[in-house]
């Protein structure tokens, strides 16, 4: 089981996430994770240090996303959005995912990881091409959640074509 929603996961405090997982596992008897713990594990596994955030919303959401990166113990290098409203996420053309990643990397060449923060934004087709083009790791929230859910269920296989996280770990 995955508790989704980074804001919801953090509503009880980052320090309480492990307790939430443990208590729920005891109660329901199946492996449990959260979107926040999955993303934190993925960043650690990838060796991420300097992270540029790509998010689907307008610039007013930037400070919140940058704060998440700081809470994860990483250095934010910038945040750009696609200027969409939540209800429009399914309408964002997949090629639009490339623009914020390219712009963040161009503005801050020291960025080692591009983080696509919203699992509802369809960006999977941009992961591998951006990694090749920009020489960075690309990690998406949905990718991290899927990776961690597989691992918690004992599925260790690698999946090529969808970025370093699924290909190498």
To the nearest whole percent, how much of the chain has pLDDT over 70?
96
**pLDDT of 5:** 81
Give tens-digit pLDDT for 111-142. 999 999 999 999 999 999 999 999 999 999 99
Give tens-digit pLDDT for 20-50. 899 999 999 999 999 999 999 999 999 999 9
Neighbours of 97 (CB within 10 A): 25
Domains of the chain: which residue ranges?
2-168
Cα(145)–Cα(130) distance, rounded to whole angstroms?
20
Q: CB under 8 Å to 162, separation ≥6 — which residues?
A: 124, 127, 128, 143
Q: What pLDDT band is residue 9 in, cutting at 50, 70 and 90?
A: low
DSSP at 47: T
Whether the predicted pLDDT of 95 surpasses 80: yes
Class at the top of the CATH hierarchy for domain 2-168: alpha beta
- The reply to whether the predicted model has a pTM over 0.85 is yes
**pLDDT of 74:** 98
């Amino acid at each position: 089981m995955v508790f989704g929603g980074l804001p919801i996961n953090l509503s009880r405090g980052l320090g309480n996430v492990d307790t939430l997982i443990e208590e729920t596992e005891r109660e329901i008897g199946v492996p449990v994770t959260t979107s926040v713990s999955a993303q934190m594990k993925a960043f650690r596994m990838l060796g991420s240090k300097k992270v540029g955030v790509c998010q689907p919303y307008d610039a007013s959401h930037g400070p919140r996303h940058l704060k998440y990166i700081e809470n994860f113990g990483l250095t934010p290098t910038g945040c750009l959005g696609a200027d969409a409203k939540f209800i429009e996420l399914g309408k964002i053309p997949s090629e639009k995912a490339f623009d914020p990643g390219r712009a963040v990397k161009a503005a801050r060449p020291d960025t080692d990881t591009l983080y696509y923060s919203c699992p509802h934004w369809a960006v999977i087709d941009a992961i591998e091409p951006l990694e090749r083009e920009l020489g960075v790791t690309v990690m998406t929230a949905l990718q991290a959640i899927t990776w961690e859910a597989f691992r918690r269920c004992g599925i260790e296989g690698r999946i090529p074509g969808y970025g370093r996280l699924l290909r190498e770990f």
